[in-house]
Copies of this chain bind each other. A is one copy, B any other.
């Protein structure tokens, strides 16, 4: 009987905590994922694209739960767009491993907000970190809007500036000068996400597909940093400029510039650096 009373007290406390959580959510959101077998590459580690999608999912759950996510924003013709994503990884989750994505916002300005990610296993082992910058746009004009004037500043109630993230503040993504056209593709149905444009993570997948598979037998991604400059849409011609040929044992960082055709001059869509180790 004693044990049941103890379990009952535990249950009571759990229920009370749940109710109080709903009204007063923690600033840091925690979301559980698993490296599902069909989300893993031939080395039996999670595809970086799937990890990236999980980061975006965590951001989406966290902001929606706190009243400033796309569920609310879509009702007032606004949405979040990812402007910058930096990820540094000590290790990539292996097949069947559970992992946790913690996410929090440390600051908000009129036109940008900083979102952090920490990727751990359930015992607290740290796989890596992420840092991102988001803008809010009007879905009709596609122009930036004042974040602080939207959603009654709810976002400011959940700022967490003291939780450590070793990734330094983003500076401009610098590209090497000697980039050559590596490949061009036409975007298709599966590139397009719920916002009607090419999904941010799809650029990363297309970029990783530029490397010969032998490369992934020797190296794995340690770090990437991507700046999103302009949207692209279905059936756009994307051009990938890289210096893949120049990487070797001493230089393991690759620059990639993605442009889209269909204008007098090609326009830059995103620019990024990937480091292997």
Contact = CB atoms under 8 A, between A and B. Distances in A.
Given A37-B194, A194-B42, A189 B201 contact: no
Contacts of A36: 53, 57
Interface string A191-207: 01111100101000100
Nearest to A55: B38
Given A38-B60, A189-B208, A190-B208, 20 more contacts: A4-B4, A8-B8, A36-B53, A37-B60, A38-B194, A38-B201, A39-B53, A40-B194, A41-B192, A41-B193, A47-B190, A49-B190, A95-B194, A188-B209, A188-B213, A189-B209, A189-B211, A190-B205, A192-B213, A213-B234
Interface in A200-224: 201, 205, 208-209, 211, 213, 216
Contact of A189 (B60, B70, B216): B216
3 nearest A-B residue pairs (beta carbon): A4-B8, A188-B209, A38-B53
A4 to B, nearest CB: 4
Contacts of A234: 213
A196 B40 CA distance: 11
Contacts of A53: 36, 38-39
